[in-house]
Structure 1
Amino acid sequence: MKTIEQRLKEIKRIAIGFFIVGIAMVIFFVINKGNKKSEDGQNGGYIEGQEIVAGEYEIDSKGNILRAVKSESDAEETDRTEYVESFDDIDFKLPYKRNNNALSAKEGVLAKLVYFLSDEWISDKSYYPDYSIIEEGLIVLFDPAEGQYGITDGKGQWIVEPSFYNWEGVLSSYEYLKEEGLILIKRGEDDALVDLEGNWILEPYTFYPFVHVYGSRIVFGINSEDYDEKGDQIIMCGVCDLNGNIIIEPKYYDIDCFAMQDERICTKDFAGEYRLFDFDGNDILNSGYKNIEIGYNKEPENKIFYIIQDNDGKFFTCDKDGNELSPEKYDGLTKIGNGRMIAEVDGKKGIIDSEGNAILEIKYKDIYKNKGNDNTEDVYTITTMDGEIGAFSLGDAMIMEPQGKGTTNKEYRYHYDYQNDVIYYDRGDGFYVVLREGKEPLQIECDGLSITSDGFILLYDKLAYGKQYYLMDPDGNMIYADGAKTIVEGYVDDKLYLIVEEQSDKGDIYKFISDKEVKFECLAKNMKVKPEKMEGIYPVCNEDGLFGVVNCKGELVLGYEYKDIEVEKRHNHDTDTERTMIIAKTVDDKYGIMNDKFEWIYEPQFSFVDVIGVDSFIVELSDGQVIQK
């Protein structure tokens, strides 16, 4: 006869068996249900050829129904089963100490299985399912008995035993540094590092003001006993290897591992002196300097050099081993990219490379990086010693010989227009100057100007109520002199057209102008699209409130017969194609779709239309409706 203890064990085994089978059946049912929903939902429940049920559908321009658009309730139903679709090949084992310490579950349902088991099978002193996934197989788990967190390897072992806290969100994040095999633990603003065997880098269970990993070296900070003038505790910086062995003692104000490929470290002490070390802690320059800065040559092979300012304030360059590269010392060196620097000697400036070779002779009063010059970072405005202005390209040498006189404002930066090779600037006496290669300087009296994409000069005067704009051609001839709130210009069929916004007694008006004649005008409030460039399609309504379309030539290309017109533009990034479509609403509230040539894609028949792609529309259909092309 079996003892009571044996019977209890047998009942327990049977219960475990039923429990496991039950979980398997639930998972199978959910997956099967989710898969069936997925199969039925690929076309949103619509099967080609079946009769239309009232609702919204996605269609293309050829009359094909792509899918039925799901309602919000359908989406919620699908969302409830989506978690099972995240299954992957992880076989995760929890580090529990009791009979379920070998529990294995797919990541997608880990939370649900653990939450169920926590009530039935796990004691109060076991590990509750408050967890964060750092990386595949690395998970943070919480010990409620101690109120602490640990990190498990997903194989039933602790990498870090529960030993660190989380209070009011202070323990904020973890990061797995896969290449170095380290886990970065961030507690508020403090950091610590642990390897995959549970070894704490530096002091065990100690968090530091900061920890930064640079390949095989770690820059870290420790709090000193001193405070700065603001009352903040002073942090001292040091360097160690990935095992925590100290390479540079933590005694510096700042440290930067700024040359990974050369394995170089720059330190700055609390007296402001800079030193250059290798990754083994050897002092490369054997001395301290006023400043050390890194420079990069893109060619060849991102070669690195260093800009050194000695204690007399002079500048020179050296290689990673401390060998001087530049043949002389300079009063100033300013990096401008790709190993180039603006060099200054005796108040004159030029451009040199990292070895001191002259790219632009050191004889100019000033060299400016051009304002608004994002697309041509290698073009610089130069000023001669007698004040003439030119433009220099690092790639193409001199692109505009010095000419004209510069501004009297020493803080002003010259504008270079890279599309039209134009320099323009405020001379400081109420005039702007426009410089072009081979042309006489243009001196224009105005409060400001800019160069348009077609090379025209858009200038303005400041008035009490705003700006008044005018337009000149590149040679300074006035094209539009009446003054406008806005001016849009552009070529269509090799002919110049303007759209200007003027003030009138009736309100702001738009005028479409060519050959100095007004081809079309309307109240600005009656135009749905504010002209900003020559798009060519402008919906406009008449006095009866009906809409038509005007092109940029001022021609009425679609008559006033629609209750509403919208212009929609869509871009497909995969195929790099763009399409403009016109949604027209008739007076009987039916929507149709046109292309940009005003040809019907779909004649008016829908009660709702939304353009969602270059060849994709959402339309509302009624019961049994047949789409008419």
Structure 2
Amino acid sequence: MEEKLKKLNELAELQKSGTITQEEFDTLKYELLNPIANFIEEPKLEKTDKLLDLEVIKTDEFQNIKSKNFISRPKEKRNISYKTVGFSLLGVGVLITLFFIFISRNKTLVPFLKANGKYIFVDSLTMKPQNNDEYDNLDFYSDGLARFERNNATGYIDNSGAIAFTIPKEFYSHNFSNEVAILSRLGGQEYYLINKEGIIVSKNYKDIDGFSKDNNLSVVKNEVDSDEKFGFIDNTGKEIVPLIYDFANSFSENLAAVGVGKTVIRVDDGLRIFKGKYGFIDRTGKVVIPMIYDEVGYFSEGLVRVKLNGKFGYVNKEGKIVIPLEYFDCSDFSDGLARVWQEKYGKTGYIDHSGKQVMGFNFSGARDFLDGLAVIQLGENKWGFIDKTESIISSTKFDAVGSFFSGGLATVGLGDCCDRIGELMAAKYGFIDKSGEVVIPIKYSSAYGFYPNGFAIVAMEGNIEDGQSFYIDKKGREYREK
């Protein structure tokens, strides 16, 4: 096996340098590893990591903790050599949020859901298990740590494969991003930031929105003089923008929407609705666009949608109106175009940055463009893709489609199944390429899009979260548990 991995690394270098194509690399890798994987034989490694009993250190209800480490840490570490970079899988409930991954020739670990409902780590190149360790839940590596749940304990695994630390049972932890993770007390509005040493670095807030790779400021919420107010902190817990606003959104292109006004509670469902005016601040907290708008979006491609007096249009970062406020509704820009609606047409069209109508109001339903393609409705509950010339790339009308291509392939489905969370689901799923050709047959009962490591999770029966899943590559070859 060691010789095969050496050869695989050589092939990866050839592909990386352009000597062979990705398709040739996939084929040669398949022939080398013969990987209808079947997990032929799991390594018989002795477990050396043990979870400690969790004990919470009492510290004044965690108010303004800066230096105390209340996280349980293991005394033993396993010395397993591999490198990881990754993306984040949130929860058993199949909500997967993908983060950017750079796949090098080194091994990368990804979670795999076994038929017994337990998770293990597998090598992303060979899809072979790394060891016998099973988890009740296991996330993808994010920011160098992977979140796990096992035996009613939660914690993080580091790049060496050892348990970095565990957390108290009455708390829920989130994935790391920008060197910190959010820690929240179960059943209560109590949120903190922890660093990679398991040390709390922020005071208690009623909510923390979170960080991303390109955003080092997070929205936070707390009570100020009996009112809920919003501001921003950095990943050290320092308050950069004071909690003085009645509304705040995350930063996008270095500007964030904030608002002042009244928040009302809707009678029928208790939802809090902000009724006030919106504007934008920069990262220093300076107001750069006055709070005069009734509704706003996120800055994208230098423009943001705004609503005033019942109509939508777009302003730039100086607050200048560059596309007139004349639309019934519109979307943020994506891939150079934005969706717009006019009430008199009752359909969707697309405009460019100048406000020029590049596609008429021809679509009963449409989604944003991404990589030159957009999902559009082709008939009653039928969907497909168009390019920017308004050409339909596939003659097949699908009952369900993924919103974007991942690794050059998009998930599509045929056959009515059910209505789930307001979205029509399909009976069977497969994959098409950007020419519209079905390249992986529509035969799976459930399917996720392809990850950057070149694999997708699918199931032949039931749902992926039921433990009926396995991996496929872009050739449709199956990587199953034995």
Q: TM-score, normalised by structure 2?
A: 0.42
Structure ranking higher in strand proportion = 1
The one of the two structures with greater contact order (alpha-carbon pairs below 8 A, sep at least 6) is 2
Q: TM-score, normalised by structure 1?
A: 0.33
